[in-house]
Amino acid sequence: MSSTAPQVAAAETGAMLRALELAGLGVRGANPLVGAVLLAPDGTVLGEGYHRGAGTPHAEPAALADARARGHDPRGATMVVTLEPCNHTGRTGPCSEALLDAGVARVVFAAEDVNGSASGGARRLRAAGVEAVGGVGREASLELNERWSVSVAERRPFVTLKSAQSLDGRVAAVDGTSQWITGAEARADGHRLRAIADAVLVGSGTVRDDDPRLTVRAGAAAPVSGMALRVAMGLTPVPDGAAIRGEGFIHLPTRDVGAALDQLVERGVRHLLVEGGPRIAGAFLRAGVVDELVSYVAPLVLGEGAPAFPGLGIATLAAAPRWVLDDAGGPAVQRLGTDVRLHLRPPPGAPAASHH
């Protein structure tokens, strides 16, 4: 063994820790969180990168681009990445081919890719003579992307549930008024969520009562061009003149969460933002398909009115799942004007969906 081998091994371990840190800067959604660090043969860092969202360069090409921008040649280098390099062409090209084209000699990855259409990158690299080693930092990578892996295994979109509520968990007053519980900054952040989703869903009753447009406000920058589909779910008819109608509108006349998700994934939806109302939010939570929860809490108390998440069937405190604060994409707890934004994910090992 070379005298530099222990130093290089230590450098790879340190690089994986950094890659995991970088991965956490990305946004949750259609794609897993992935970070990458490119190392020279002696273990020095040449470049780093992470996946910033659907349609943007994957972590490996981002790290290669960073290395070239720093004036480094990636030939003969080692790519340390938190997920097995993908082997398919989607909105971007295969990372396995990008690594081969760059002349990378070795790839160290944490976890294998569970997405069948994208898997096989390590096999492709090995077939071309590149050393590919998996398992370094695997558990941390799996935990980071646990809910994304669940959605892939269940062949459904990754589901983000958004709520805007009072301190006592109400989304509307007794008379039905709900605009606006939260302030302008929180509403602007909600438009940012719409901008990164493939589809935005509300109940058809909410369409009747509130007549939302579900469009993205100008300035809510999306990582990829294109407008999210606007989806009304439920048996209530959608009026001909409803603001939600127009190109990109879909009505799913069902109360079955599983059936709705099946129809959406058939239309190519990989990231769904559920905006409510309360019955829809409760239905998605009961089905066990909510992968992240973004809740905007306003400093007011209503006392009565519509609860944010009704009908969950939780009879005792011990039966209530305790969600986990999630720092991916930014602070888990964030002040927005006079409101507080909470970013949460289900506890590790939460039961899979029961809708199929």
Which positions are catalytic? Answer: 60
Token pair in block for residue 107: 């790839």
- Give the separation between CA 56 and CA 47, rounded to whole angstroms: 17
* Partners of 271 in beta bridges: 158
State phi, psi for 308 to the nearest 5 degrees.
-65, -40
Token pair in block for residue 169: 């968990």
Closest CA to 149 of 260, 31, 43: 31
Specify whether the CB–CB gap between 257 and 156 falls below 8 A.
Answer: no
- Give the separation between CA 291 and CA 151, rounded to whole angstroms: 8
Q: Are strands 158-165 and 170-172 parallel, antiparallel or unpaired?
A: unpaired
Show Cβ contacts of residue 112 under 8 Å, excluding neighbours closer than 6 positions: 84, 119, 122, 134
Quote the DSSP letter at residue 278. Answer: H
Q: Are strands 229-233 and 333-336 parallel, antiparallel or unpaired?
A: unpaired
- Give the separation between CA 309 and CA 53, rounded to whole angstroms: 29
Token pair in block for residue 21: 């840190």
- Give the separation between CA 313 and CA 307, rounded to whole angstroms: 14
Closest CA to 93 of 69, 67, 114, 124: 124
User: Helix %, strand %, coil % for the chain, to 5?
Assistant: 30, 20, 50
